[in-house]
Structure 1
Amino acid sequence: MAWYRAGTVAITAGQNTVTGTGTSFSANARVGDAFLGPDGRWYEVTNIASGTVLSILPAYQGAAVSGGSYAITPVQGYTKTLADKFNDIANNWGSTLAGLGSVSTENLVPVAKGGTGSTTAAGARTALGLGTAAVATLQTSALDNTAGRLLAAGAFGLGGNTAVEASSPWNGCRFKAWDGAAADRPPAGGVAVGIDMGYAVNRRVQIGIDTIGQMFFRGVQVDPIDGAGWRRILSSDDISSKEKLAALGMSEVVINPQGSLPFLNLMNDSGRFCGKVDPFAYLATNAFANNALFSPYNGGSWSEGGKYIYDNTTSGGTRGAINATVQALMVAMGRGPIGANTRYGVEFYVGKYTAGTGTATPYTSAGGVAHYLTTINGSRVLFCAASWGTFTSWVRVTSGSITCSYPIYVNGEWKPAGTALTASLGWFHWRGVTKSVAGYNNAFPNIYATPGATFEMALPAFFPGAVDMGMHTSPLMTMNELASA
């Protein structure tokens, strides 16, 4: 290792301190090195205070000097050099190395300690829980449908605001936007957005919604270049009046909006379960009686589940209490809480049905559970107006489950055929509309139950045609020869 001679030194006779000018003692000298002074004598370096100050031993024996020449030479050879290098590492990286802890002794750093747990890329991905997406290729374009490709931003129009057009032939499903000038747009008010689905450029289904909420759809068997074939889906507002229907060119349509029913209940007791009575009388003086439209089937039976009483004492009246079943019904219908709104009203009974153990006419619910027909109507003619028939009622399942073989509305929400209805629903409003081209269906309203199930029914009604009566809160009126009007 070369001797160090940079700069000059100043030393006072009899002193141990050496002061340098233009020196860097701390970087180039070590305690134990030999110091050749300006007086030609050798001294031992005993301390290095800084780049310009060090101490020697023995005290300087020559005459005082300023700007004198000197030399420092290592006397510990390569061992000293190695020690210097390790000292540098310790000074610069000591705290960092200490922070590694036990990782510094690992040949393969596990994931738990911040490593990959493997020496190969595949092994590292496995250890880190990365699936095949980690090595999958990104789409090369917005319409790239190569198997295994990762979707990019704007893929098939998703998440983008730029039109994504396909070239023939084309397969797949994409989001689409039509501007106000697009020749193939829906007949909409301004721009429209929607979905374009198909398996070929000339075999597609399109759905679009414009900015004022109108919805359109069409199926095309040619590459669509114009607005032909679009059909509009009507809303309840569109058919709420004859004037609006006329504006749509629909002059011969049977409409029956909520609150303006054009049909009378086909049940001769108005669904009050009290036998044939004057439909204009608000009191039900007869005892509970099942209606022939609900004749028990498969060994089932009807019984009274309670009676709604006009001016009932539960609500502050004088004519008798209503039981918990009827109180819960009042609340579900929106007439609760029990009080002024539940004190007066048209009297009716609640019917309670207990399913038998018979297994004729089965129907399997969506959950795979076998249900069996509960009632028949004696093949009465309940369908007309293009073969439609409507049944509505308030229903509560108290054990087991029931279902229906056609779609129904539960509290106004559409439910598919086979939906299992259980006690968790409490009282709910049932409305079902189905067809019979023969004009009758002995099983209608097609209520199926598990063996031994029990359910309650209140305010049932049958209507010919497709009728939406809303969620009624009192008996739906009929007409019979007892009418007092």
Structure 2
Amino acid sequence: MAWYRTGTVAVTNNSNVITGTGTSWVDAAAVGETFLGPDAQVYEITSIVSATSLRISPNYKGSTAAAQNYAVMPTQGYLRDLAAQAAALVSSYAAVRDGAGAGKFAAGAVTEPSLRGTADENTGLNIPGADILQLITNGVVRLQIAADGTPSGVFVEKLAVSAATQAAINNLAAATVALAALGADPDQVPVGQHLGRLAYLDALSILTVSRHARDSRPGDVWREHVSDTATTIKFHGFDGIIRSRTESWT
């Protein structure tokens, strides 16, 4: 390990205080290492006070002087560095072991999801809080699932349609709301019978009737509503021809 010589020092005869200029002793020196003074004598570093102040033993023997060259000689060398690196590795591994290594990830943000790629920091899977899961791309929540399973986000929102298309959808829905009731009244479909003509209510509750195009097969027989006093019986013959006759009711 190289000796540290950055900056200069001011020394005082019979004092243990060394003052540096342009030095960084907190990072570059350590207690127990050797201080080589401007007087060419060696001293033990007993304390690192700051980046520009340290203490030595014994007290400085040379003459008082400022702006002097010096050196810090690392007496512990590579062994100290290795120990420091091993301690840092153990500390960082503990965080990995108890977190990502155990499949546990800290709560993230939209710009930095909990689980993301190294080359794409704003895309991934995010756990922003208790019982919430988010799917994020480009820093935007595309899908969020709440604790009760309710989804939200642009992934489940309705795609935009033109005003004309939306108006056509609204008009169609208003004009063709099918009757839900089943029964024997003229405006209702008898239970268990082929639908024949379908009854609908428009938005103003005015009854309109539309013919049902029935998909019959050879051998089928069914009735269709004609009026309150008439029905039609139809038969799908095996020759492919549908024949009918009318029944009158009083």
TM class, shorter-chain normalised?
0.3 to 0.5
Structure 1 length normalisation: TM-score? 0.26
Give the number of the structure whose residues are more often strand, by fraction: 2
Structure 2 length normalisation: TM-score? 0.47
Q: Which structure's relative contact order is higher, taking Cα pairs within 8 Å and 6+ residues apart? A: 1
